[in-house]
Structure 1
Amino acid sequence: MLHSAAYERHTPLLYFLKNSGPLVCALQCAFALIFFSIFTLQPAAFISLYFALWKSVCYKMTSSLKSVYHISAFSWYAFVVMTLAAKDGEELPPGICAYGGPWKYLTFLNLILQMLFFGLTAVNDLQRGKKSDSTLKRFTDLIFSVFAFPVGMFVVLLFWALFAYDRELVYPATMDAFIPPWINHAMHTVVFPLLLGEFLVQPHAYPRTKNALATLGLVGAGYLFWILWVHVKVGIWVYPLLGHLNAVGLLGFFCFNMSLVTLIYLLGDKLNSRVWGKKLH
């Protein structure tokens, strides 16, 4: 899709890497990353080479392979959501079903968001004709850039940071009897590689930064209002951590979270540009 004459001036090594298949190339790049990290003092130069190789691989990637990736990711999220839904009849830990059920948890909302994004992207892959200019493609670009990547990465980073500090603040031990470890990782770990893989599969058109950040701010404020509303209605905090904060602490925590989401959005924009060579608007 994005091509330059430099691709044609490859060495035999690059020719082998480009034509040995995406999965094999991924292993080769990973090995090269370890090798260069150990035996050179120029990690920045290697990172540029790594992205150049992946960019070449992604250029050669067929639409059918992209479809397989998107359908697989959608199927995975659908399976996780259905597994959680099947637990509705089980004896649940206190607070999970109180006012709003799982819809008050950002982790669950993120699962729905990721499933929606990959599902719509898979549908777009199956369209005939020029898909890059379709309304659905522009819509999925918006979802990925403004919501799926920032929110998904935020969930992963904040959850594991708090879990490492004190799991009782975000994921009490009583949850282990209800949610097995593999579902925990499905909700809070697998999101990370699937989102990074999306950068390697296809480019995404990012909106104007000020518009994107304004939208993120509105959505973040809406979620804050939602969890405050739950607390007012039933007297529980969605996350135990919030019960340890006063009004000033809540405001500071919210501002910190929005700053983190903003940084993640900007990182996604940079990654998209770095992998695909130019910024798309």
Structure 2
Amino acid sequence: MLQSAAYERRSPLLYFILNSGPLVCIELNIRDNLLCNFHASDRTFYVSTSSYIFCTSVNQYCINIEIKMASNLKGVYHAAAFGWYVFVVTTLAAKNGEELPPGIFVYGGPWKYLTFLNLLLQMVFFGLAAVNDLHHGKNSASTLNRCTDLMFSIFAFPVGMFVVVLFWTIFAYDRELVYPATIDAFLPPWTNHAMHTFVLPLVLGEFLVQYHAYPQTKCALATLGLVGLGYLFWIVWVYVSAGIWVYPLLGHFSAVGLVGFFCFNMSVVTLFYLLGDKLNSQVWKNRCNRY
């Protein structure tokens, strides 16, 4: 018999068994040949070599099962989310041949709407994540893995959150400013929730199934700012070329008001990026990799 004082310093497993050794033995139904002896009076713990090997094997087996289950759950989640977005995007694309409300797809079609661009973004992200799951364990630092980390942290989460929160805030105030009632005859109510509601639980659920290494904050925010400027230029170009605003709300602003509204929106997106970084760190406290 070996006293565990020396082993405790070397093995975290024995430290765990020190605090729950008898329970482990009981749960494993080791009754006829008790391998662990625990004395509560002086906290002395003895374990035989065969017991240490046996408990280590059981512990490793449980860890392997847990990793396998987590990997399967992650793969199913990503594949299901990808399938959902493919269904929503193809449903919206099929509407292009039907009679449209006036001005809805004039100049640029659906590509001028942030909502549609966000759907494509989410679809691409979950598609890449599903492909990355197939390579699980081969190279955790692969290019594809880094790509999904950057896409989720910089774009998928902050943009997805922004679309949901801003849309429903304006919708609650006056839906005509962002989603006129005439659209209801063209798009059924479930598509509205598919575009502006279900995005939220899907991006939040991603934190529970997958750790993402966040980039340096200044680089991420600079990238977000450049993409935001690009979208602002695009919607102004649509207005100059076709004489219509992508969203009726924008027609109520002056030039200075548009700049202020854009700065406000970028501030909100920045807050969502920082929120995502915080949530990722809290859920996965034992990992802190950054690019």
- TM-score over 0.5 (shorter chain): yes
One of 233, 239, 250 as aligned partner of 2:247:
239
Q: Residue 178 of structure 1 aligns with which residue?
A: 186
In the TM superposition, residue 131 of structure 1 has moved relative to its aligned partner by: 4.0
Q: 1:272 is matched by which residue type in structure 2?
A: N
Q: Distance in 2 between matches of 1:171 and 1:130?
A: 46
Q: Distance in 1 between matches of 2:139 and 2:194?
A: 30
Q: Residue 69 of structure 1 aligns with which residue?
A: 77
Query: CA, structure 1 residues 170+118, in 2 after alignment: closer, same or farther (shift >3 Å)?
Result: same
Per-residue CA deviations over 1:70-110 (Å, capped at 9, x if unaligned) read 00000000000000011111111112221100000000000
One of 215, 221, 240 as aligned partner of 1:207:
215
Q: Distance in 1 between matches of 2:98 and 2:288?
A: 48
The question of 1:98 aligning with 2:106 is answered yes
Q: Residue 280 of structure 1 aligns with which residue?
A: 289
With a CA cutoff of 8 Å and minimum separation of 6, indicate the structure with the bigger relative contact order. 1
In the TM superposition, residue 279 of structure 1 has moved relative to its aligned partner by: 2.9
TM-score (norm 2): 0.76
Q: Distance in 2 between matches of 1:238 and 1:59?
A: 46
| Structure 1: 5+ residue stretches without partners | 12-57
Q: Distance in 2 between matches of 1:187 and 1:136?
A: 26
How big is the alpha-carbon RMSD for the aligned residues of Structure 1 and Structure 2? 2.2
Per-residue CA deviations over 1:85-143 (Å, capped at 9, x if unaligned) read 11111111112221100000000000000000000000000125434211100000000
Q: Secondary structure at the match of 2:102?
A: coil
Q: Distance in 2 between matches of 1:154 and 1:62?
A: 29
Q: Distance in 2 between matches of 1:200 and 1:65?
A: 10
Q: Contact 1:124–1:131 (CA<8 Å) still a contact in 2?
A: no
Q: 1:153 is matched by which residue type in structure 2?
A: M
| Count, aligned residues | 233
The question of 1:87 aligning with 2:92 is answered no
Q: Residue 49 of structure 1 aligns with which residue?
A: none
Matches within 5 A, 1:1-281: 61-127=69-135, 129-277=137-285, 278-281=287-290
In the TM superposition, residue 250 of structure 1 has moved relative to its aligned partner by: 0.3
In the TM superposition, residue 63 of structure 1 has moved relative to its aligned partner by: 1.1
Q: Contact 2:70–2:209 (CA<8 Å) still a contact in 1?
A: no
TM-score (norm 1): 0.79
Deviates more, 1:92-101 or 1:112-121: 92-101
Q: Distance in 1 between matches of 2:112 and 2:180?
A: 16
Structure of higher CA gyration radius: 2
Post-superposition, which runs of at least 4 consecutive aligned residues in structure 1 deviate over 6 A?
Answer: none
